[in-house]
Amino acid sequence: MAKKDVEDLLVAGGEDKHVRARYDVPATMEEFAELAAADGYTFTVAELAAVLKESGDVFEKNGNPAKRQIWWV
């Protein structure tokens, strides 16, 4: 279930620029997971890291303004 919640959030961010903008704010994976929990997504930092690793995505922000490149389209 937790892996699916991570994947569902990454898809939601890929589909909605407002979701992406909201989740580009947290500085750490812990803050990201807390924000996700407040939005109804249940997963741990380890589960988030595992899904990102599986997909070859990196949590860090890039660019100016800084954005995450983790969103699935």
pLDDT at 70: 97
pLDDT tens string, the chain, 73 residues long: the values are 799 999 999 999 999 999 999 999 999 999 999 999 999 999 999 999 999 999 999 999 999 999 999 999 8
Among candidate residues 59, 54, 25, 56, the one with its CA nearest the CA of residue 39: 25
pLDDT at 60: 96
| Gap between the Cα atoms of 47 and 25, Å rounded | 20
pLDDT at 59: 97
pLDDT at 34: 98
pLDDT at 67: 95
